A = this chain, B = another copy of it.
Amino acid sequence: MEYDCEKFYAGLVEHQLIIPVGVQGAFGRGAMFEEVVDRFNARVSAIAGRDGAETRSFPPVVNRKVIEKNNYLESFPHLCGAVFSFFGKELEAREMAQKAVLGEAWTGHLGATDLCLTPAICYPLYPTLAGTLPEGGRLFSLLGWAYRHEPSSEPTRMQSFRMREFIRVGKPDDVVAWRDMWLQRGLELLQSLGLDASSDVAADPFFGRGGKMMATNQREQKLKFEILVPVISREQPTAVCSFNFHQDHFGSKWGIRTAAGEVANTACLGFGLERIAMALFKSHGFDTTRWPAQARRQLWP
């Protein structure tokens, strides 16, 4: 298999799988791209079917206080996005609109709202869980749009993308056992679709020099795993699914307690839906009718 990022991007565009919009990593998705995303997501739902996850849905924006309290700015200041809007009156509105028409900078007229863009699908969930969990903890299923400020010509690195996530909240042993089960499930699912998937210990892209220590610590404690598939390069495969064990980080921040009264532990896992679709198009070609029979049987049962 040949890996050529520009050629792959051009192929996605040519086959109307992604639709350029003039800003890197914010492209539209075509009909067949969406169908692959939907059908993969349906496979995940089928596999999770008997687990009894509670469905929740949050908009692509999150209370700014959640970003602040989770210390997101200490770890990922370079990725954050905040929503700015207009708070002025009519005269200033006219001035702002006039600047926009003339191609002048107008965003200086805006001010911060109470909202940020959601950087991780599970972020809005934790504050809603404050209190005591039932015996055995809880399990949630979410699907949402994440924002990360990292414009790139590399198609798998998006500013706005969807994750299908599951979040387990409870006792440490239960949470870790659940994470391990899904690591195996995720590998099996992706391999059964004909993807060259493997798992590895990983670290988040923490910012700056201080971030290096945080990443080392995260790796040493094996708090993050990823499932990787070659999409853009063989040597540096793309993370298409990630598994994060937060220990009691969110439980203590948001006052979540187990039935026994301990601070709850949490873990989440997320399938990067666009990245998995791209991995499938890279591995099996742009024409889904020519995909391997085993992959087709699973996605179009």
Q: Interface residues, chain A, CB within 8 Å of chain B?
A: 19-23, 26, 28-31, 33-35, 54-65, 67-68, 71, 73-74, 77-86, 88, 90, 93-94, 96-97, 100-101, 103, 105-107, 110, 112-115, 117, 124-125, 127-128, 145, 147, 149, 151, 158-161, 207-209
Contacts and interface: CB of A to CB of B under 8 A. Distances in A.
Contacts of A112: 84, 105, 107, 110
A62 B125 CA distance: 26
A71 B115 contact: no
Chain multiplicity (copies):
2
A99 to B, nearest CB: 9
A67 B207 CA distance: 31
Nearest to A68: B100
A29 B54 CA distance: 11
A193 B190 CA distance: 40
B86 A80 contact: yes
A42 to B, nearest CB: 12
A128 B57 contact: no
Contact of A58 (B21, B67, B107, B151): B21
Residue among A35, A85, A94, A158 with most chain B CB within 10 A? A85
Given A81-B84, A81-B113, A59 B208 contact: no
Given A26-B61, A82-B84, A124-B21, A93 B115 contact: no
A238 B161 CA distance: 31
A83 B83 contact: yes
